Amino acid sequence: MPQRRTTFSQFVAEDRRRSGAADADLVGLLNDVQRACKFVAAAVSRGGLGARPAAAAATNVQGEQQKPIDVVANDIVIKTCEWGGQLCGMVSEEMAEVYRIPGEYPRGRYLLAFDPLDGSSNIDVNMTVGTIFSVLSAPPGVSEPGPEHFLRPGREQVAAGFAVYGPTTMLIITLGAGVHGFTLDREPGAFVLTHPDMHIPETAQEFAINASNERFWEAPVRRYVEECIQGKAGPRGQDFNMRWIASMVAEVHRILIRGGLFMYPRDTKEPAKPGRLRLLYEANPMAMIVEQAGGAASTGRERILDIVPDAIHQRVPVILGSKDEVQRLVRYHQAFDRGEDLVFHTPLFNTRSLFRGDAVFAPR
């Protein structure tokens, strides 16, 4: 007798039934999303063998360089999810405006926000990338949504998840009651439940941050990183490892498996931008996943899921992962904002290491 394996489609349908909120539209939508992720996984895995889009990609609405595969992945998600009748609009990192469902297809009551390819700067060097998605309900009666209909706090997300295209392709999902991981079995082409009920350890030995921005960080982040780097000899009394993959999907996936902290904090590099990551289709879905797995997600000053967005491509500072570590950083921000903290002074760089061992803390 074949071993019984739970596929993504079956899991989602049964989950909805168990919750008493059977919802064929949501089940259908999530099925389309998982199918889109399989197509994107296939496109990504073909690498240099893949078809090139007719027009070379250039710059997206955020002024960032688009890779051709960003455009391919965006197109895959749209084409796979637009026809089913569950959606009335989509927002994507790669599209300036809200995408309206073409007139030939029925409209549904859900809104989809997505990052078709996260970490795409890694694509040329054959490292892990992924797709992030967030599902919201459209207000009753809305069939032609505008940007304002997407500007809901992340705590209202109906479902959120991400696919990670690494050595294996995985799909991680939450429908608001736990986080579940599925691994793509390429032979039958099915996502199979391999990581039910994922939990982030509360404490951590790893943190992830782009340390090349150190000179632009605020004092609380400098303090946190400096204390980690001091290791056993410092106030934390333990050694930490630092990680940076430049692919949020890969970092969050690692944190789901073995804990840790991920930060793309507020910095002064481009003062007009309060952060690097986008709220609707990066920070919110990842924050929901992390909270549902027992972790925490904050800007340092506010719970990410409580932010009321003011623009569809809004950026926010992101600090997420193991609860104790996020709470520690929030405390450092609070102390700093109350003027109780110490400002960390260090030269931009020094000859011995990126961070000075003899760091000087001076009253603010």
Rounded to a whole number of angstroms, the minimum distance from the CB of residue 103 to ligand AHG is 30
Residue type at 304?
I
DSSP 129-151: EEEEEEEEEPPTT-SS--GGGG-
Which of 132, 89, 91 is CA-nearest to residue 309? Answer: 91
Q: Which stretch binds Mn ion (CB under 5 A): 13-21, 38-46, 87-95, 341-349?
A: 87-95
Which of 259, 221, 215 is CA-nearest to residue 240? Answer: 259
| Residues 49-57: contacts with CB under 8 Å, at least 24 apart | none
Q: Using the rule CB under 6 A, which residue among 43, 160, 229, 248 binds ligand AHG? A: 248
> Which residue, 174 or 247, is less far from ligand AHG as judged by CB?
247
Q: Using the rule CB under 6 A, which residue among 15, 23, 32, 115 binds ligand AHG? A: 115
Q: Would you state the torsion angle of the CA atoms of residues 214, 215, 221, 223, taken in this order, to the nearest 10 degrees?
A: 100
Task: Rule CB under 5 A: say whether 118 interacts with Mn ion.
Answer: yes
The span from the CA of 64 to the CA of 60, in Å, is 6
Q: Do strands 277-278 and 261-264 pair parallel, antiparallel, or not at all (unpaired)?
A: unpaired
Q: Using the rule CB under 5 A, which residue among 15, 32, 93, 218 binds Mn ion? A: 93
Rounded to a whole number of angstroms, the minimum distance from the CB of residue 247 to ligand AHG is 5
> Which residue, 228 or 263, is less far from Mn ion as judged by CB?
263
> Which residue, 57 or 221, is less far from Mn ion as judged by CB?
57
Binding mask 80-109 for ligand AHG (x = CB under 6 A): -------------x----------------
Rounded to a whole number of angstroms, the minimum distance from the CB of residue 13 to ligand AHG is 30
Instruction: Please give the residue ranges that form the binding site for Mn ion (CB under 5 A).
Output: 93, 115, 117-118
